[in-house]
Amino acid sequence: MEDVKRYTEIATKLLKVNLAVQTQETVLVVTDSHKEHIGRFFVTAGRELGLESVHITMSPRQKSGEEPPFVVSEAMCAADVVICVTEHSLTHTKARKRAVKAGARVATMPGLTLDMLSEGAITADYDEVQSLTERVSAILDAGKTVVIEKNGERLTFAIDGQRAMSSTGMFTQKGQSGNLPSGESYIAPVEGTAEGTVIIDQSIAGIGVVPEPVKLKVMDGRLVEASGLTGERLLQMLGDADGRLLCEFGIGTNKCARVTGNVLEDEKVYGTVHIAFGSNSTFGGTIDAGVHIDCVVGEPNVWVDGVRVIDRGKWVR
């Protein structure tokens, strides 16, 4: 009972502080059967705050970026606040985009565990996370080219004309959305411009902490080679079509985040960067692949327009 009380109190704080729920608002909690037990804490918290809290449980999706059932998508559009506690991410789906357009505040929490609900990134000072994330986004907004270097391997791509997204963990206004826990600035690279190789040495969504570094080779914006057994798994998850297109570059901005094997938290770790393959039509790109897989790089070197901004995981600008 003490654990139930503690997790409900944490869920209550997230509703009040990060989502700024108001009297008379409707809260929709979307879960799948794998995460239903965690979603219930948010339903209980909402009801204890006097809100109309609705809980929908669906079958698990097969991969991140796969759309939820139509009935779930429609319900998301009708709610004031939507919390998605699912095994695979609904962040980069048309359903999430439609709900935001309808004015909902949406927090996606893919792969959330009870540990992540009480430790690590969730405990951050979100005013600090918001400030840092917005400063990083300003650098990306002004940039034209990015270079990521790790262990002598380099990946380059253009971001000219693209706009960075700030996932601050604070979704207090209509139409705001992002992950919880949060802390990242991310952008859609110009499609077809990515060239080179990158070393993934932290984690891959849907796989977890990588047992050994994975070298990815990208040509004309498309993943063409991935080393080792983990690389083979990644290629299988992405499929043979547009799922292999580079769709995202992100920078972690949460100083409390840990590498746990769950990319929801891993990609938020301060001093890491991540790239993703698959869909980006929900945040400035045109790729609609039905899959979105993030890959995290630890202690990278990063240049924006030839100026080093991260030196082995340390910010120099």
> With contact defined as beta carbons under 8 Å apart, do 84 and 106 qualify?
yes
Q: Where are the alpha helices (DSSP H) in 79-216?
A: 94-101, 114-118, 126-142
Specify the 3-state DSSP secondary structure of 143: coil
pLDDT at 23: 92
pLDDT at 44: 97
pLDDT at 132: 96
Provide the mean pLDDT of the chain: 96
For residue 278, pLDDT beyond 90: yes
Residue 316 buriedness (CB in 10 A; 0-12 / 13-18 / 19+): exposed
Report the residue count for the chain: 317
Domains and CATH numbers, the chain: 2-118 (3.40.1830.10), 122-315 (no CATH)
User: What are φ and ψ of residue 147, in 5° steps?
Assistant: -125, 130
> With contact defined as beta carbons under 8 Å apart, do 104 and 82 qualify?
yes
Mean pLDDT on 242-246: 98
For residue 317, pLDDT beyond 80: no
For residue 86, pLDDT beyond 70: yes
- Per-residue tokens: 122: 């969730």
Residue 127, C-beta contacts closer than 8 angstroms, at least 6 positions apart: none
For residue 1, pLDDT beyond 80: no
**HSE (CB half, 13 Å, CA atoms) of 225?**
10
pLDDT at 4: 87
Q: What is the pTM of this model?
A: 0.87
% helix / strand / coil in the chain, to the nearest 5? 30, 30, 40
Mean pLDDT on 94-116: 96
Bridge partners (DSSP) of residue 158 are 145
pLDDT class of 48 with cuts at 50, 70, 90: very high
pLDDT at 2: 63
Q: Of 64, 84, 68, 77, which Cα lies nearest the Cα of 19?
A: 84
Over residues 201-220, the pLDDT tens digits come to 999 999 999 999 999 999 99
